[in-house]
Chain A
Amino acid sequence: MFKFLGLRLLQAIPVLLVVITVTFFLVRAAPGGPFDDEKAVSPQVKAALEAQYNLDQPMHQQFFSYLIGLVQGDMGPSFKYPGRSVDELIFQGFPVTAELGLYALLFAVALGVLAGVFASLRPNTKQDYIPMSAAMVGICMPSFLLGPILVLVFGLWFDVLPVSGWGNSPGDKILPSLTLGSTYAAYIARLSRSGMLEILSQDYLRTARAKGLPEHTVIIKHALRGGLAPVIAFLGPAFAGLLSGSFVVETIFQIPGLGRFYVQAAFNRDYTMILGTTVFLSTLIVFFNLLSDVLAAWLNPRLRYQFK
Chain B
Amino acid sequence: MTTAISEIDPQELPKGVSLWQDAWHRLRRNKLAMIGACYLIAVIIMALLTPWIAPYAYDAQDLRLGATPPSAAHWLGTDLFGRDLLSRIMYGGRISLLVGFIATAVALVIGVTYGAIAGYVGGRVDAIMMRLVDILYALPFMIFIILLMVVFGRNLLLMFLAIGVVEWLTMARIVRGQVQSLRQQEFVEAAISIGLSPARIIWKHLIPNALGPVIVYTTLTIPSVMLLEAFLSFLGLGIQPPQSSWGLLISHGVETMEEYPWLLIFPGLALTMTLFALNFLGDGLRDALDPRVSKD
Contact = CB atoms under 8 A, between A and B. Distances in A.
A and B touch in the complex (CB under 8 A): yes
Contacts of B271: 140
Instruction: Output the residue of B135, B185, B224, B286 with the most chain A CB within 10 A.
Output: B135
B275 A140 contact: yes
A57 B213 CA distance: 51
B73 interface: no
| Interface size class, chain A | 35 or more
B276 A194 contact: no
Q: Binding site of A, secondary structure by majority: helix, strand, loop or mixed?
A: helix
A229 interface: yes
Contact of B276 (A16, A30, A136): A136
Given A194-B213, A198-B212, A237-B170, A278 B177 contact: no
Interface string A157-200: 00000000000000000000000000000010011001100100
Given A194-B213, A194-B216, A22 B142 contact: no
A281 to B, nearest CB: 7
Contacts of B11: none
B181 interface: yes
Given A144-B254, A148-B257, A201-B293, A139 B275 contact: yes
Interface string A252-294: 0000000000110011000000100110011001100100000
B173 A263 contact: no
B45 to A, nearest CB: 23
Given A190-B216, A233-B173, A302-B184, A23 B140 contact: yes
Nearest to B136: A19
B180 A263 contact: no
Contact of A139 (B137, B150, B223): B223
A31 B250 CA distance: 31
A282 B137 contact: yes
Contacts of B47: none
Interface in A217-260: 229-230, 233-234, 237, 240
B233 interface: no
B138 A302 contact: no
Contacts of A203: 1
B9 interface: no
B165 interface: no
A26 B144 contact: yes
Interface of A: 7, 11, 14-16, 18-19, 22-23, 26-27, 29-31, 124, 132-133, 136-137, 139-140, 142, 144-145, 148-149, 152, 187, 190-191, 194-195, 198, 201, 203, 229-230, 233-234, 237, 240, 262-263, 266-267, 274, 277-278, 281-282, 285-286, 289, 296, 300, 302-303, 305
7 contacts: A194-B286, A201-B292, A237-B169, A237-B170, A278-B138, A278-B139, A282-B134
